[in-house]
Amino acid sequence: MDNSFAGRRALVTGAGKGIGRATSLALAYHGAKVLAVTRSQADLNNLLQECSSITPLCVDLADWEATEATLQGVGPIDLLVNNAACTSLQPFLEVTPDQFDKLFNVNVKAALHVSQIVARGMIARNSGGSMVNVSSQASQCALRDHTVYCASKAALDMLTKTMAVELGPHKIRVNSVNPTVVMTEMGRLAWSDPEKAQTMMSRIPLGNFAARACAEVEDVVNTILFLLSDKSKMINGVTLPVDGGFLAC
């Protein structure tokens, strides 16, 4: 085992599936003590079967009080990955208030809240730390039918920057990763239609579905691990695309 995160305690949200799950397993593999937060107990049971050293925490992060209660007393955290998010596809003219609130509650407000809880502990211990927000290329490039998702990720990018400014003096670094399409459950929801997918993929300089499929979960996880690690100790407040060059076009 590579012990590069040995002795560190990491909290990962949205750890039940996709990128969050893979990040939790990678951090545990590299020696971190991982606290995995998600809202489906079945996913946590399953995750524990794969890696018994992980501590499961089941909560709906859209619920402010329940989140506060669940994260109270989890002990010191050195590394935080705000990965949990949801999406829904709606043309701009059909966006509903409940969908707006649902997405902003999880994608932005929960990231802010979990970060506040973790940062307060880091500051009290004077330990410093590193946080990564999982954003998206959609924060910087408008996508049809993704009005609220794009807006929520743009808000998350600015949250990353404001956190970096205010938490930097406490030696807490905050960065985001901004992936292109990744074929997780969320990716499949938006990009399973081959015609739509081809239009997106044709805009990625490093490849397309036929050649090198969009981003792999591993590409995103490796970038998260880099930003969490001391190898990036002078990087703070960046929104780092993992997009094969999509945002460069």
Residues in the site for ligand NDP, rule: CB under 6 A? Answer: 14, 16-20, 38-40, 43, 60-62, 83-86, 106, 134, 136, 179, 181-182, 184-187
Given the complex with ligand NDP, which of 128 and 207 has the nearer CB atom? 207
Closest C-alpha among 9, 135, 145 to residue 80? 9
The residues, any chain, with a CB within 8 Å of residue 191's CB and separated by 6 or more, are 181, 183, 197, 200, 214
CB nearer to ligand NDP: pick between 43 and 219: 43
DSSP track, 9-44: EEEEESTTSHHHHHHHHHHHHTT-EEEEEES-HHHH
Can you say whether residue 101 is alpha, beta or left, with left for phi > 0 and alpha for psi between -120 and 50 degrees?
Answer: alpha
Alpha helices in the chain (DSSP H): 18-29, 41-50, 64-71, 97-104, 111-125, 147-167, 185-191, 194-201, 217-228
Report the residue number, 5 or 149, with the smaller CB distance to ligand NDP.
149
- For ligand NDP, give the closer residue by CB, 188 or 231: 188
Smallest distance from the beta carbon of 213 to ligand NDP, in angstroms? 11
Catalytic residue among 149, 161, 196, 233: 149
Q: For 212, which DSSP code? A: S
Least Å distance between CB 58 and ligand NDP? 8
Q: Smallest distance from the beta carbon of 129 to ligand NDP, in angstroms?
A: 20
- Which lies closer to ligand NDP via its Cβ, residue 3 or residue 46? 46
Smallest gap from residue 124 Cβ to ligand NDP (A): 25
Residue 205: Cβ within 10 Å count:
12
**Count of beta carbons in the 10 Å neighbourhood of residue 58:** 17
Q: Which of 29, 33, 102, 153 is catalytic?
A: 153
In terms of CB distance, is 32 or 156 closer to ligand NDP?
156
Q: Please name which of 2, 31, 36 lies closest in space to residue 21, comparing C-alpha atoms.
A: 36
Neighbours of 124 (CB within 10 A): 9
End-to-end CA distance of the chain: 39
In the annotation, is 153 catalytic?
yes
In the complex, the smallest distance separating the C-beta of residue 85 from ligand NDP, rounded to whole angstroms, is: 3
What's the CA gap between 208 and 178, in Å, rounded? 18
Q: How far is the CB of 216 from ligand NDP (least distance, A)?
A: 11
Catalytic positions, please? 149, 153
